[in-house]
Structures are given as C-alpha cells and as structure tokens.
Amino acid sequence: MGQEVGSGVNATPRFDAVLDAAGLLCPEPVMLLHGAVRGLDSGEIIKVIATDPSTTRDIPSFCRFLGHELMASEVAGTRYLYFIRKR
C-alpha cells in the first residue's frame, strides 16, 4: 500500500495509510488519528490531511504524548498535512 513522491528537500515522505480529516473540527481529527494509529504496525507512517487550524497544536502534542514521530508537516492551501511514524 504505501507511496513515495519526489525526491530532494521538498519530497513527500513515504506513507502506509491516509487519514482524511478535512472538514472535521477539534477534537475529531485527533480522535480519528488515535484510532487509525492503533491499526498500524510499529514503524509505519500515516499521512493526515486536516483543515482545522487547531491541528497545528493538537497533532504535535498527540505525537509527543504518545511517543510517535512527527516526521513532517506542511500547509498546502487550506489543508494541513502531517506525516507521523508510529512508535
């Protein structure tokens, strides 16, 4: 299942799963992320797509609290993208 896009500095990390939380408001994106991460194996990467600006605070906090690695985050228009590696 995964994907790898591009190479170099602006390359999109490889990922094994996608969580599309676009249009959902706090706390739904993090609640769905918690469930989605449970379904991953250790070391797998999930790409999260969100539109709620509060995810810029909530998703890094989620990763710190549970020990997952926030590999990358970026803003693409009105979407916030996160790449998280399960511990």
Positions marked catalytic = 26
Q: Going by C-beta distance under 8 Å and a sequence separation of 6 or more, which residues neighbour residue 12? A: 3, 4, 5, 6, 83
Q: Going by C-beta distance under 8 Å and a sequence separation of 6 or more, which residues neighbour residue 22? A: 49, 50, 51, 79
Structure tokens at 35: 């469930």
